Structures are given as structure tokens and as C-alpha cells.
Structure 1
Amino acid sequence: MLRTPSGGAGSGTATSDGRLMSIGTVLNLLRGEYPEVSISKIRFLEAEGLVEPQRTPSGYRKFSSEDVEKLGHVLRMQRDHYLPLKVIREHLDALARGEQLPLPSPAQSRELFEGGIELDPAGPTAARIGRAELLAAAEVGEPELVEWESYGLLSAVSEGCYDIEAVGIARLIADLGRFGVEPRHLRSMKAAADREAGLVEQVVAPLRRHRNPQTRIHAETTARELATLSIRLHSALVQSALSTHSH
């Protein structure tokens, strides 16, 4: 029998015969403690390099007991400590070297976010910046910001305050402008982004309504993961379209 990992690393997840497991078996083992986990979640963690299952000649994933233990450790650090994947990866690397790094508290996790590390959205409230700070950080003027807001490309979340992501958006809009791409040309991108966000929200809505508080918290993690996959797909589709046009 295989036991779902419930402690720290080294808690012991093993099969009686040591055979490799399919992704469906792994999913069933983990769901006892992590009801929000999904096959897409496991594949996402694999894509991020946090687990490396073996592959059969036909391409099917096969997980070892160590892989399942590592997945449990990753899910636990996300759930209990709200850690971003970069920090989780550092902890896993330390464990592989036989070291034990102390895990930060949620308050310390917020400091990681404010220090420039992207935090899992299931954690503390995202940072906010003022209008003057946004202009300075993005290195743009008030007229440009006003124009971008008129096209709905940026908007304040509260009186005079913006999400920290607004800085990156503003810089990208400015960079595109140097190639002659005007704000009015970007309205279709904004509309597409809104549609993708709506699709993500449809997927995570049942998690947000779940009676389990931890599941509701992980709705935000799932939303971020879906957004990451959506961005990757969008990038791949654009590259494919450009390749087609070049022929």
C-alpha cells in the first residue's frame, strides 16, 4: 500500500513492491490530504521542474514513491506557508543536499513578495502603489497614463492606488509604443485578456465556494497556475502564427 505524505520530507511514501505509478494513481493518493490537487496541477509542477517522473517509450508518466513524497512536500509548503515556487525549489534543493532550511511564516512570506519575489496569490494581500510611484517606476508621464486609462489598458483598484502588476503593464505598453504600436491597437489584447480571465474564473469558481477553507485558499493558486498556462499557450500561438506568415 502507498501512504499519502502528511509530514515533512522523509515522512515515507512507499509501495510494497516499489513499482512506478501512473499520474492517476498519484492523484488519488494525494487527494486525501490535498482535495484541490488535479492532474493539471501535477503536470504544472512537473513543467516547473519540481518533480521529474520517468517516461515510458509511449510517453506516459511514471512516478516513483520519492516523486509522490516530493509532490506532497511542495503542496504542503504552498498550503501551509504560502511560498512561491522559486522558494519551494530552493528548499527542495537544500533537502537533496541533506540540509534543512527553516520555512518562513506567512508574515515573512509577505516580505519575500515585497522584496521582489513573486508570491503565490493564495498568500497575503498583493502590494499596492500610488499613481506617482507608478509613473516613476514605469518611467512614463502623466499624459501617457491618462491615455492608457482612457483605453482601459490600466485602471486604479482604489482611489489613486494600483496593483503592483501595473508597473510591468505600463512598461510593456511603453516598449510597444517605441515600435509604433499605439494604445488603440492594444484594445483587442485587453479584451482577449479579459476573456481569458473570465475562463479562469469559471474553472476556479467551484473551489472558491468550497466549504473547506484550505480549498478556497488554493483557488487563488489554481487561478495563477491557469493564468501561467494561458500565457504560455498565447505565446506559443503567436510564435506559430508568425512562423506561418514568414513562409
Structure 2
Amino acid sequence: MTPAASASASSGHSSGIPARAQAAPTRGTWPHQLSHEPLLRVSDVLRLVQPEFPTLTPSKLRFLDNHSLVTPVRTPSGYRQYSPADVERVRFVLRQQRDHFTPLAVIGEKLSALDAGTLHEAVLPRAAGDDGPAYLDRAQLAQAAGTEPRVVEACVEAGLLGSETTAGFAAEGVEAVVAAKAYLAAGGDARTLRALVRAAAREGELAAAAGAPRRARGDSDGALASAEALADAAIAVFASSVRRSSRP
């Protein structure tokens, strides 16, 4: 049973959810084999997903809802209620962004194909409490990424892992180490890795700046949408440019 399914069975929220929220959403949405009963609050979703994706926030969940990637049920008072199936959709979107740098439009197309049954994605069972620690030291990062300590050191020197705390690096750093491992194995080196990180940081600053005007007006969802749109576009341009330049 997934943590979401476990939480929905034991959360005890069902009696307090208005009738509208208890109505089952469309059964055609993926993953079809999981419960679509909207028994989970935003805080429940964060608790279940943040161990794997520590940067997930309520604003990010609103962003996914605004783009119709994950559509929770709304209670009469306007609160979002999620089902175990919704939680798995959140994980799918975040994995697509983290592991494959997939643009939102393409993620939406994949979800539509999953809904229609023309694309298939395994939903692995998750046991409650099997999420890893929030922070890892350098040796643990190397082990989790299936690589050598020198790759982690290259990531540290390149500034790819962010700030190191007394508890270590945030567990999401495994994603960066895996990416660096693949880059170095494909022929990259520490110098060009540093250049890539600097370029990505500049694009991140531009993306943040794109959302600043809306943020100043108190439109946090709009600010996030602007930043995400520019970041997605930058990723697509970079990937296209690299592929084009690498052709013989």
C-alpha cells in the first residue's frame, strides 16, 4: 500500500469533509488502480511527498492545479482535498521535472496518455515510513547515487549541491549527483561541470526575476508560474542547442 493510501485509510478526515469533497472525481484519471477518494489535505500531501521532494510547497501544489496537471477536489470553503491517486500524479510530475527536465506541456501530454491508457507507468507500492532521511552526508550521497565519493566532491566544488549544513546536504542532492555522474561518465569534466552550473544559476536568477513583478503585487501563484515558464523554456532551448551542436 502506498503511504498516500495508508494515510487515506487512517487519517480520519472523512467525517469532516463536506459532501462535495466526498464525491468521487473522474475515474478516468491515472493511476486507475489507486483510490480517488479525496481524503488528504495539503499538509498530508506535503508530509507524504516532501521526503523525496523537499522543495515541494503549497504554492507548487497550487501551480500544478492551475495547470490542470493535478486537479484536487475543492470543498465548499475552497480548500483542496487530494486522493492517493492525486498524490501519485504529483510524484509523477515532480519526477519528470527532476529526472528528465520535461517541459510542463509535455508532462501534460503524458498524463493525458496515461489517463487514456495509451501510455503505461508502473506505480510501485510504498510502505509507510520507507522514505529516506532528509539530509545525507557526502558518503551517504555517493552511496545513494550509486557512485564514487569523487563525483560528490566534484559536485561540491561545482556548487551543484547548495549549502552543506551540520546534518549534511538535503536529500534532493542525490538527483544532482546522479546527473553529474552521468555527465562525467559521458566525457564531461569538472571544469565544464562548473561552467554548466554557473549557466544554470544565471538562468535560475532570470526565472526568479521574471516572477518578481507579480510577487510584488501579492500574486504568488502568478509569480511561480512566470518563473516556471521561463525555466522550462530555458531548459528546452539548452537541450535543443546541445543536440543540434552535437550532430556530425
**TM-score calculated relative to the size of structure 1:** 0.48
| Higher RCO (C-alpha under 8 Å, 6+ residues apart) | 2
Q: Computing the radius of gyration over CA atoms, which structure comes out larger, 1 or 2? A: 1
| TM, length-normalised to structure 2 | 0.48
